[in-house]
Amino acid sequence: MKADKSKGVLLFVAGLFFAVLWSSASTATKIGLLSAQPFVICIARFFLAGIVMLLIAHVLMGKRLPHGKEWKQLAIYGVLNISIYLGVYIVAMQEVSPGLGSLAIATNPVFISLMTSLLFRQRLKPITITSLLLCSTGVVLAAWPLMHQSMATPFGISLLMGSMLVYSIGVLYFSRQQWSDLHILTINGWQTLLGGIFLLPAAAITYNPAKNVWDRHFIGSVLWLAIPVSIVAVQLWLYLLRDNAVKASFWLFLCPVSGYIIANVLMKEPIGLYAMAGMLLVIAGLYLVQRKKTA
């Protein structure tokens, strides 16, 4: 009984830290963009996070290297989950506010349900359509006043939602692969590093030295995105998923709230009635999806 209670407290603390760290990525990205180009931030973040994880996995823990078809799997997953998803996401963050960025991230469960239905030819259930409409309406509602205040653009919102669709495809790809005994740190480390490598051509083509200042904004953003977000938050998420995937996904409900609070404190982003109404609609849409899974 005591062990169950201790585990429950541990899961609660892990979930709370995950939600805060995960939702902080939007504000950290926005701060980094004050001093550097999007792909420069990406390359620095992915190389740092990937190398740290691989050193832990292969040097400290002695885990084996990938072999055979696992390299192809890691490359495809890295392209989807790192190069395209986060590459498009950080470009979108140039056009939208940090609070809106965290709100969009929280819609991933709905998009995953939608993509599952479309890719595997499953009938799209009314509750999935309703959830998608609620979440989409919530994002548009929260973005509406921001567009008038030049804190969001239609192009940025389109890129943001497009990146969420790519992330959903990446999740489905990962779930359909056989990873045998490959350690999760090995998978995360190599897909992060490979994703960064695949972004190098885009970074080289768009690089402009005049737009990059190696100051505290850039260094702080990269360190935060690499360590607390890419490493700590992901490991907490995997810990929660292994215990109970359905319960774990409920922590995504907290991401829009904590994301807007962090953006308000650090970036002075206003939290108005539109933002609050948008958050409620997104949370309602997520709740419908999760309640369907638990039914």
Phi/psi for 260 (5° steps) reads -70, -35
Mean pLDDT, range 112-130, rounded to an integer: 73
Residue 284 or 221, more confident: 221
pLDDT tens readout for residues 88-117: 999 999 998 888 888 777 777 777 777 777
Percent of the chain with pLDDT over 90: 40
The pLDDT score that the predictor gives to residue 122 is 67
pLDDT tens readout for residues 144-182: 776 666 677 889 889 998 998 888 888 788 878 887 788
Confidence class for position 136, pLDDT limits 50, 70, 90: confident
Which among 163, 192, 45, 53 has a CA at the least distance from the CA of 101? 163
Residue 84, CB-side half-sphere exposure with 13 Å CA sphere: 17
Crossing angle (nearest 10°) for helices 234-243 and 184-198: 140
The angle at the Cα of 76, spanning 223 to 204, to the nearest 5 degrees, equals: 55
Burial classification of residue 4, based on how many CB atoms lie within 10 Å of its CB (0-12 exposed, 13-18 middle, 19 or more buried): exposed
